Chains A and B, each alone.
Chain A
Amino acid sequence: MSTLALAAGASGTGSVTIQAPATNNTDVINLPDTNGGTIMVSSAMPAFSAWQSSSQSITAGTFTKVQFQTKLFDTNNNFDSTTNYRFTPTVAGYYQLNASLYVSTAIVMQPAIYKNGTAAAYGAYVTQTNGVGALMYFNGSTDYVEVYVYLASNGALQNASSAYNYFNGSLVRAA
């Protein structure tokens, strides 16, 4: 049976406190060892996945915000699927974001990830379907991210299922 030892530093007066949560939950933290592993703390680690469940027309030559109206999950309730269609994480840190878009007809298109209203990452300019990803820092309060798309001709996004037009992301490292 393995044991858990607590060792004080050889010098200095600093301290480490392991504090129980202020709830009635019983929590277990599995520590990593030399064979690998990682500490995963699930509470308040935002992760979301949303998709477009209602068709959206896109005007040619215009970067248009994509409406993702349905959430598959949203662990910290940080994705707005009704008004602004944006992710505003309330935990500061680095987030991996991914989006994939599919146009219902063979139109040249280009997706983009916008941070705080400005383009931060473009996908390629290709026909009908493409994705875009980015690793971004968010301050945990005012920073937000959205997905836009550009079509070379008038068209619409395909919304047959959650596999076509989706936007997802997760915290990968705290600030």
Chain B
Amino acid sequence: MSLYEKIIAIYPQLVEADFRPTGAILLQNDSDGKGDYIAKWEHPTLAKPTQEQLDGVK
């Protein structure tokens, strides 16, 4: 499961548009083998998910 899918699972109210450049969240992958990561989280009401929350999504 990708980071994007995990975040959507934690916060079902988020929509794809929240991850576009005009949205509050920026996920990024630098193609360096380190995988996806949260480059920006500026959502006005939802807290940035913790690693524990992300790891808990199966």
Binding site for B on A (CB under 8 A): 56, 59-67, 84-85, 110, 112, 119, 122, 125, 148, 150, 152, 154
Binding site for A on B (CB under 8 A): 2-5, 16, 19-21, 26-32, 36, 39
- Complex Cα distance, B5 from A148, in Å, reads 20
Contacting residues, chain B, for A148 (C-beta < 8 A)? 28
With A110-B21, A112-B21, A122-B21 in contact, is A61–B27 under 8 Å at CB? yes
- Complex Cα distance, B32 from A85, in Å, reads 10
Q: Are B36 and A59 in contact (CB under 8 A)?
A: yes
Q: How far is the CB of A152 from chain B (nearest CB, A)?
A: 5
Q: Are A59 and B21 in contact (CB under 8 A)?
A: no
Q: Are B27 and A62 in contact (CB under 8 A)?
A: yes
- Other A-B contacts than A59-B29, A62-B36, A85-B31, 18 sampled, CB-CB below 8 A, are A59-B2, A59-B3, A61-B4, A61-B19, A62-B2, A62-B4, A62-B19, A62-B27, A63-B28, A63-B29, A64-B29, A64-B31, A65-B29, A65-B31, A110-B20, A112-B21, A119-B21, A150-B20
Q: How far is the CB of B39 from chain A (nearest CB, A)?
A: 8
Q: Are B27 and A63 in contact (CB under 8 A)?
A: yes
Q: Are B4 and A59 in contact (CB under 8 A)?
A: yes
- Complex Cα distance, B4 from A110, in Å, reads 16
Partner of B29, one of A62, A85, A122: A62
- Complex Cα distance, B20 from A64, in Å, reads 12
